Amino acid sequence: AQSVTQLGSHVSVSEGALVLLRCNYSSSVPPYLFWYVQYPNQGLQLLLKYTSAATLVKGINGFEAEFKKSETSFHLTKPSAHMSDAAEYFCAVSEDYGGSQGNLIFGKGTKLSVKP
Amino acid sequence: NAGVTQTPKFRVLKTGQSMTLLCAQDMNHEYMYWYRQDPGMGLRLIHYSVGEGTTAKGEVPDGYNVSRLKKQNFLLGLESAAPSQTSVYFCASSYSGSGIAKNIQYFGAGTRLSVL
């Protein structure tokens, strides 16, 4: 069965500092992996998606994530945090059942705070 | 560009009352989903639909019913609301074909429901 573990329910960084949000997954087949962001009182927006074309995936707002199969990880990073990055971030996994739709399994989320 | 629209945005119910949440998407997506979001729990799938006239149970379906009479609409019903159903409900839709958009879910802004 698929599962997603996000280490740390809350992460706090200073403005300009590196952002690192951790995500580990379990999947019996090569997965699709996603990071979504949720700003206060809004729905989820896609940050980036891994599809096996490249292990380093670039997303919106300067975020990127690296797929490491040996570590079953898909950590999200941003070199320099901005106040506007304060939000909750969700990692999600989906399996591809021979071309049919796979539902998303979400992690519990990591709330990012950015201090001035 | 409406995307996924949820109505209502807020609702307060008394225990035992019923209500229907409406989700509408204008992207011609085959797949639609209902999630609930509770603090520290991430998003949990309630029901989903892979096409007009078809629905299926997700992770937490008890106490909810759904209908997909039209491709663009996905309704979530609570027949007899309970305080445990106090939550934020999100609808999402996704593309059913192959390619870069595969498995990407697009979310509505959410419905905040309180059951007293």
**Distance in angstroms (rounded) separating the CA atoms of residues B88 and B86:** 7
**A18 within 8 A of A76, measured Cβ to Cβ:** no
Q: Is B56 on the interface with A (CB under 8 A)?
A: no
Instruction: Determine whether the interchain pair A101/B31 forms a contact, defined as Cβ–Cβ distance below 8 Å.
Output: yes
Q: Is B2 on the interface with A (CB under 8 A)?
A: no
Using a CB-CB distance cutoff of 8 angstroms, which residues of chain A are in contact with residue B45? 103-104
Instruction: Determine whether the interchain pair A109/B42 forms a contact, defined as Cβ–Cβ distance below 8 Å.
Output: yes
**Secondary structure letter of residue A30 according to DSSP:** P
Contacts of B17 (CB under 8 A, 6+ apart): B80, B81
Q: Which of A62-71, B8-17, B99-108 has the lowest mean pLDDT?
A: B99-108
Instruction: Determine whether the interchain pair A44/B109 forms a contact, defined as Cβ–Cβ distance below 8 Å.
Output: no
What is residue A5's predicted lDDT score, i.e. its pLDDT? 95
Share above pLDDT 90 across residues of chain A, in percent, rounded to a whole number: 70
Residue type, A87: A
With cut-offs at 50, 70 and 90, classify the pLDDT of residue B102.
Answer: confident
Instruction: Encode pLDDT of A22-39 as tens digits.
Output: 999 987 666 789 999 999
Using a CB-CB distance cutoff of 8 angstroms, which residues of chain B are in contact with residue A51? 100, 102
The answer, yes or no, to whether residue A106 has pLDDT greater than 70, is: yes
Average pLDDT for A1-16: 92
With cut-offs at 50, 70 and 90, classify the pLDDT of residue B1.
Answer: low
Residue spans of beta strands (DSSP E) within B1-116 = 4-7, 10-13, 19-25, 31-38, 42-51, 54-57, 65-67, 73-78, 87-94, 105-107, 111-115
Query: How many Å lie between the alpha carbon of B14 and the closest alpha carbon of chain A?
Result: 23
Using a CB-CB distance cutoff of 8 angstroms, which residues of chain A are in contact with residue B38? none
What is residue A99's predicted lDDT score, i.e. its pLDDT? 46
Question: Mean pLDDT over all residues of chain B?
Answer: 93
Q: Is A101 on the interface with B (CB under 8 A)?
A: yes
Residue A45 burial (10 A CB sphere; 0-12, 13-18, 19+): middle
The answer, yes or no, to whether residue A96 has pLDDT greater than 80, is: no
Q: Is A44 on the interface with B (CB under 8 A)?
A: yes
Share above pLDDT 70 across residues of chain B, in percent, rounded to a whole number: 98
Using a CB-CB distance cutoff of 8 angstroms, which residues of chain B are in contact with residue A99? 98
Instruction: Determine whether the interchain pair B50/A32 forms a contact, defined as Cβ–Cβ distance below 8 Å.
Output: no
List, as ranges, residues 15-34 from A with C-beta within 8 Å of B. Answer: 32, 34
Instruction: Encode pLDDT of A48-72 as tens digits.
Output: 998 777 889 999 999 999 999 889 9
